[in-house]
Structure 1
């Protein structure tokens, strides 16, 4: 990779957008998030009420944390979050060039990485993925359907809000940890350059297989759901299929299947020309370059939700013996969602590496 630098005059004026300055504010934002969450969890501990996960969760079978009792989980969450707030403050105060003990850097990066995984993969479950999948339908139909608005209101609870907050904290901690890790080794906090060319080449080399895997799994899920609404009980109990057709519940699955197929097409765009330049048939934007964030941000969110939701379904399937030869299509395709999430994450990273261009901060390409 060409790592030629530019002078400040060649780079032009610094980009001052808030999102472009994420390495500056992300560590502080992650610290404030951890402090707020820690104080809230401390409140759960002292009052004995409000803990939104574990045995207090009415649908805890969906969660990887479903068996955690409040008297254990609340103080544990408080201790970890408050420790994260202290760690984040130290990370945020770091200035490039300052000496950092090796043990501290390893601890901070490891702690931040572990906290990111817990917040993005362990805390969320299948329910938040379902909300994301049905969100387009809700936005289109709910304003004109009072019954749907009531159903949505009844379905959403404090557990969903807690998972959204956890996801926000997870992405903040991912950004804060990456920025700190880069700064403490002398790399550009925004782009990571100069990076290891061998690692980048390996990611790019496996991009196309990752895209095909990430596109095939939701397509498989979608095909089974549309076969059901076509009247064929493929991989599902015939009586369950008949009841689902009668009450219309299978059509909700078909909607989610349609959204999955849209995701399949958009995933293929990560390695196609039209994923970089809007095709001619799209009005207004035709011929313009696709903003990198327009592809990377939603793909990253879906990758996280698919991984966490899939792990939750695996837990349910194994604990309730739902994985059988007669009903394989009911749960089987969803058991591949963790693979889908990992493959989509890999493909998204490769897309970003291929399209990131010259960094406006360090000038490296």
Structure 2
């Protein structure tokens, strides 16, 4: 009995101890990525970004050739490994030169931003958007499975690795910044009350913006499914119907509406406590991470994907009055991502409760 009671807290504390392991995980990630990129540089093979790919127009890094990108990625990642090791070895109370703290926090934050926003492309966003359709129809549609298998490639793996590294570096940088400022590494307290008040005050408007944009996107797609050629000619709509693309539009529109509803949960009571009608869950508190983690991932992907679509639309001349329903909602996706990120932060600040590390509330 004693062994059981002492083992359970150890398992439960793994996630709560993220300020301890995140800097080391970010360092290992950077070292592995840096060595891999060094291999691309020395061998001339394996570079995951192909400027000749037609989809490179939708990538913020699509125009970076291998002879430039590979050594640049290697240098930045290996520098990150060295910086991360110093950050991970810091112990509370140790004196840190002001210039080094500014450099480490700035470097870590910039690296996280690049990995989360610049490296991912619309392909990752599309994969997430089509995921419900793949899960539901994939087991019964061999053609769909074949299309998915052929579409997945090394670029998806590279972007997934970048996303993992981005979140690790964001966590590592936040932990280091808090510790070197004398704050609680886990919750950041004591907070600046004015900053927290601003985030929470604008949290509800941000959530409404983040819910309205996917709803607008869903409305255009479902109007197409209903046969209304909004934002396109009737001939183009007929071509979409003939190609079976309207089925995908229906799935994406439905998924966007689900996202709208879930986003509203960030400011609704049922986003904190499960409704009574839910079997087995009614009346139970919604775990904070269950809302914060998916919302954070979506905020990153729609920001990155939206910027990529804007880049591609401008370079290919696709942004025009006649195509507003097809590409217009995508122009708002960066705003969607920022608003969703803001609303998610406000939700977390409202629900975080008393910190088990520092005891502050």
Pair 1:155-2:151 in alignment: yes
Matches of 2:57 and 2:155, distance apart in 1? 13
Matches of 2:13 and 2:52, distance apart in 1? 42
Question: 1:245 Cα shift?
Answer: 1.1
Asked if the contact 1:124–1:166 (Cα under 8 Å) also holds between the matched residues in 2, the reply is yes
The equivalent position to 1:176 in structure 2, one of 172, 175, 193, is: 172
Tell me the TM-score normalized by structure 1.
0.95
| Matching of residues 117-196 of structure 1 within 5 Å | 117-196=113-192
The equivalent position to 2:58 in structure 1, one of 53, 56, 62, is: 62
The equivalent position to 2:261 in structure 1, one of 242, 262, 265, is: 265
The equivalent position to 2:295 in structure 1, one of 299, 319, 328, is: 299
| Matching of residues 214-233 of structure 1 within 5 Å | 214-233=210-229
Matches of 1:92 and 1:137, distance apart in 2? 42
Asked if the contact 1:14–1:360 (Cα under 8 Å) also holds between the matched residues in 2, the reply is no
The equivalent position to 1:323 in structure 2, one of 315, 319, 323, is: 319
Asked if the contact 1:51–1:74 (Cα under 8 Å) also holds between the matched residues in 2, the reply is yes
The equivalent position to 1:95 in structure 2, one of 82, 86, 91, is: 91
Specify the alignment match of 1:276 in structure 2. 272
The equivalent position to 1:211 in structure 2, one of 207, 212, 215, is: 207
Pair 1:348-2:344 in alignment: yes
Query: 3-state DSSP class of the match of 2:240?
Result: helix
Tell me the TM-score normalized by structure 2.
0.96
The equivalent position to 1:288 in structure 2, one of 281, 284, 290, is: 284
- Cα gap change, 1:317 to 1:58, in 2 (>3 Å): closer
How many aligned positions are there?
353
Matches of 1:28 and 1:291, distance apart in 2? 26
Matches of 1:204 and 1:326, distance apart in 2? 39
CA RMSD of aligned residues (A): 1.1
Matches of 2:259 and 2:172, distance apart in 1? 29
Matches of 1:30 and 1:104, distance apart in 2? 18
Question: 1:237 Cα shift?
Answer: 2.6
Q: Deviations over 1:91-129 (max 9, x none)?
A: 000000000000000000000000011000000011100
The equivalent position to 2:309 in structure 1, one of 296, 307, 313, is: 313
Q: Deviations over 1:147-201 (max 9, x none)?
A: 1111000011101110000000000000000000000011000000001000000
Question: 1:17 Cα shift?
Answer: 2.1
Structure 2 spans left out of the alignment, 5+ residues: 1-8
The equivalent position to 2:328 in structure 1, one of 308, 329, 332, is: 332
- Cα gap change, 1:214 to 1:115, in 2 (>3 Å): same
The equivalent position to 1:84 in structure 2, one of 77, 80, 84, is: 80
Pair 1:359-2:349 in alignment: no
Query: 3-state DSSP class of the match of 1:18?
Result: helix
Matches of 1:363 and 1:243, distance apart in 2? 62
Structure 1 spans left out of the alignment, 5+ residues: 1-12
The equivalent position to 1:72 in structure 2, one of 59, 62, 68, is: 68
Matches of 1:190 and 1:42, distance apart in 2? 34
Misfit runs of 4+, over 4 Å: 13-16
Query: 3-state DSSP class of the match of 2:95?
Result: coil
Question: 1:14 Cα shift?
Answer: 8.6
Q: Deviations over 1:52-97 (max 9, x none)?
A: 1142645211100011010000000000000000000000000000
Specify the alignment match of 1:7 in structure 2. none
